[in-house]
Amino acid sequence: MRFGLLSGILWGLDTVILGIGMAMAPYVGSAEAMAFASIVGSFLHDAFCAIWLLVYMGARHRLGDTLAALRTRSGKVVMLGALLGGPIGMTGYVIAIANLGAAYTAIISAFYPAFGAALAFLLLKEKMGRGQIVALFVALFGVMAMGLLSAGDSQIVNAPIGLLGAALTVVGWGSEAVLCAWGMRDDNVDDETALHIRETTSALVYGIAVLPLFGAWGFASQAAPSAATGFIALAGLAGVASYLFYYRGISAIGAAKAMALNISYSAWAVVFGLLLLGAVPTPATVACCVAIVAGTVLAASDWGELFGGRAVR
């Protein structure tokens, strides 16, 4: 369980650092920035993740393992998971933010672990007890409540398109963990090679297909050599560490429970926001954070071991 929880903590750190970079020029302050910042930021984040992983795997003399894994059926399944979780899921997320607003997008996309848990049950035969499912939904509603608290005067531009984008996010992010868990059942594809395949595939597809589709390469080339992009690179380092723990968690406790723990990042982002930015949360936000962390831990725990009795089924 500790791997999944650490993934959530580090993704919270990633979120705050990325937010710092994305709040700086050239990602803000112009019409071009408003149009392209999110998609270019996502691409650069995944590209830096891929670079950090290349260094990590090279230092461990494991690049050959990644190449060998790519030739297997399981490696190709992980590539499919990468496409769903990266370009498809994140592109849907950007579309949803543009049409629904960030707060409402966060509320809807929070349900990706529920979709992933259902998919894990169908494809991987992973089961969660009734109490664990209830705890998961407590955490999800905590995330939704945080989104509502920050919704404010969010303007809905195009609800159908925004909902379609949010649905792509839920399906993409929920499917990624399940497909990667399936791929990692093969002894030739461990958590590190799976993650290396995932991030490299995602970065390449972003660069080759997604950015040209949005006409965003011009803005990306202007934005890359900036101090703000340095923060994105730093966020990518925290993101790689988070993903390493996340994939290790998927391998150790299953996709459904790892996803449940990973969404605790919403609460940890509040903690890092306080530590790094001095952003003091409201009592309502603190209550949501407690619900999220408690719910995710209970959703991933063996209740029999936790409470010294029989597990709740």
> Tens digit of pLDDT for each residue in 129-169?
889 999 999 999 998 888 777 765 556 778 888 899 889 99
13 falls within a domain? yes
Query: Which amino acid does the sequence have at 274?
Result: L
313 falls within a domain? no
225 falls within a domain? yes
Closest CA to 213 of 48, 88, 34, 28: 88
Average pLDDT, the chain: 88
40 falls within a domain? yes
139 falls within a domain? yes
299 falls within a domain? yes
User: At residue 106, does pLDDT exceed 80?
Assistant: no
Closest CA to 180 of 116, 91, 118, 264: 116
Give the highest mean pLDDT range of 157-161, 215-219, 265-269: 215-219
Structural domain total, the chain: 1
User: At residue 179, does pLDDT exceed 90?
Assistant: yes
Owning domain of residue 209: 2-307
pLDDT (tens digit per residue) in 71-103: 999 999 999 999 998 889 888 887 887 787 766
312 falls within a domain? no
Query: Which amino acid does the sequence have at 223?
Result: A
Main-chain dihedrals φ then ψ at residue 128, nearest 5 degrees: -125, 140
pLDDT (tens digit per residue) in 9-35: 999 999 899 989 988 999 988 888 888
Helix axes 130-149, 255-262, angle to 10 degrees: 30
Q: What whole-number distance in Å separates Cα of residue 85 and Cα of residue 173? A: 5
Q: State the pTM of this model.
A: 0.89
100 falls within a domain? yes
